Amino acid sequence: MKARKIRLLRRKYRISLSELAAACGLSGQRVSEIELGITPLSTATAAKIRSGFEKLMEQHQVMLLRLNQDYAKHRETLLEPVEEIDYEL
Report yes or no: 28 and 18 within 8 Å, Cβ to Cβ: yes
pLDDT tens-digit profile of 14-49?
Answer: 999 999 999 999 999 999 999 999 988 899 999 999
Q: Residue 4 in 3-state DSSP?
A: coil
Look at residue 86 and give its three-state secondary structure.
coil
Residue 20 and residue 55 in contact, taking contact as beta carbons nearer than 8 Å: no
What CA–CA distance (Å, rounded) separates 89 from 72?
12
Q: How much is the pTM?
A: 0.77
- Is 5-74 in CATH node 1.10.260? yes
> In the structure, what pLDDT confidence band is assigned to residue 1 with cuts at 50, 70 and 90?
low
Domain range list for the chain: 5-74
